[in-house]
Amino acid sequence: MGRVFDTSLVVKGKTWYPATGFIVWMVMTWVVGWGHPERSCGKRLATGAFTTLAILGSEWCHNLAHAAAASLVGKPVDAIRIVWGMPLLVYYDINDQTVTPHQHILRALGGPLFNALLLPWALWIKRLTRPGSAARDVANAAVGMNAFLSTVSLLPIPGIDGGPLLKWSLVARGNTPRQADERVKRVNRVSGAGLGLAAGIALKKRRWFIGVILGLFAALSWAIGFGLLKEQE
């Protein structure tokens, strides 16, 4: 399809179809309607569309920031594949010996750092909106998504940003990639327990959405920690 930040932008079959955007749009339209039943169907759909743009736009920027960081350090991402309308960064060799540990770290930092820089702007825009307005809903979505991507993405789980950051920091300190992988597993067993506890507390307080999300990350951490899931090589 083209190139961005020295990286090929590719599609495979019909996976370019923006199914993710449509699903999120429908979910956000329902959320908006649940919170504001007085709004018309058209206004719910419009607000859902703009909140979807804020959420998925933040995710797109997150991935493009990774690609930009990779290009800046001279080790571009191998490909950006569009999967159901969303970007997937492809690295053919996750242990590429031509990429130094510090280059791996900088590539992994690009996304969360960019979202952390966007977050104050989203908060500033939120303060300019009126409580209960559609604009406030969109601002809340932008704040929530950028806060999520700049923090939760730093969990030490392989496949998201925190895993590579921990792994290559260990390699930079003298571990081999295999030794670093084993230490990342041990860290995930501990972090899984912490996330599970936090999920239990959230569910007990009836914070259902947060509880479910924390529970999913706890399950993922344990799956990594006990070797049930492995980072694709």
Whole-Å CA distances, 132 to 32, 38, 50, 209: 10, 11, 15, 21
Nearest-10 Cα torsion for 39, 43, 45, 48: -80
Q: pTM of the full predicted structure? A: 0.88
Alpha-carbon torsion (152, 35, 122, 118), positive or negative: positive
Listed in sequence order, the DSSP H helices in 129-226 are 134-151, 162-172, 177-204, 208-225
pLDDT tens profile 21-32: 999 999 999 988
Q: How many other CB atoms are there within 10 angstroms of residue 7's CB atom?
A: 21
Q: What is the pLDDT of residue 35?
A: 82
Low-confidence ranges of the chain (pLDDT < 50): none
pLDDT attached to residue 210: 85
Distances (CA, A) of 125 to 19, 117, 140, 156: 29, 14, 9, 31
The residue type found at 169 is: S
Residue 12, SS3 per DSSP: coil
| Bridge partner list, 90 | 79
Task: Give the three-state DSSP class for 171.
Answer: helix
Give the per-residue pLDDT at 117. 96
Query: What pLDDT score does 170 carry?
Result: 95
The DSSP code sequence of 132-144 is TSHHHHHHHHHHH
Per-residue pLDDT reduced to its tens digit, 107-142: 999 999 999 999 999 999 999 999 989 999 999 999
